[in-house]
Amino acid sequence: MTPDQIGVIVGAVFTLFILSYLIGDNFLYRFATHILVGAGAGYIVAVVVVNVFGSLVVQPVLALQTAGSASPQQQPVIVANAIVAGIGLLLGILLLFKLRPRWAFVGNTSVGYLIGVGAAVALGGALFGTLAPQIEATARASVTSTTDSVLTVIILVGTLFTLVSFGFYRSARGGIFSGINAIGRFFLSIALGATFALVYVASVSLLIERTQAVVDALRLIVK
């Protein structure tokens, strides 16, 4: 039996362990979840050590030893990379103080930096990855039929009204902004419903795939 076949059988067994939760919480389900969490934690630690600490911290610091023999154009880059690596290492060390409640305040700088960068990345992704492409696509939409015209208007109205409904203002009951908020919430509900439907379809597809894996494992065992 090849390693791939063994992997199929092991995956099918753990699938059955997870599905055993349908009859209630039991040892097999807890065993499978513990294995999943442990394997995920081990993989994350390995990735952090190799791809983050090794590549982004150790290598730039070690590169300082060869900075003297590097070209004048590369020397400032090597020094800058080492400085950035040192700052990142310092922030990471400060974050470890969060393990002790008495010294937790020392890691607030690292936490603030992480929250700020995370918020900036999320905001930039929302603006330049979602909102800007949608506005551009709506503006450049080629209207070749009545259906295209209606869809373009719906997209434009839905986008504008949803954005306005998130405004930080008080809207009088029965006023124009109250109606805009209602329409914006309507489009938002449709978007959330479509997202939920997509998640449900993906879950069903995954269940079908795992069921097929169990069937394939049974065929291998029978052979």
Give the angle 34-37-42 at the CA atoms, nearest 5°. Answer: 120
Domain range for 222: 141-223
- pLDDT confidence tier of residue 36, bands split at 50, 70 and 90: very high
133-192 pLDDT tens trace:
877 776 666 666 677 777 778 888 888 888 777 766 665 566 677 777 888 888 889 989
Tokens at 83, concatenated: 């400085």
Give the C-alpha separation, 197 to 144, whole Å: 30
91-150 pLDDT tens trace:
888 988 988 888 888 889 899 999 999 999 998 888 888 778 877 776 666 666 677 777
Inside any domain, residue 167: yes
Q: Report how many domains make up the chain.
A: 1
Tokens at 197, concatenated: 């439907």
Inside any domain, residue 123: no
Inside any domain, residue 171: yes
Inside any domain, residue 218: yes
Give the C-alpha separation, 158 to 182, whole Å: 11
Inside any domain, residue 7: no
**Enclosing H/E stretch for 188:** helix 176-222
Inside any domain, residue 160: yes
Inside any domain, residue 186: yes
- 4 and 11 Cβ atoms separated by less than 8 Å: no
Q: What is the DSSP string of 101-120?
A: GGGGGGGHHHHHHHHHHHHH
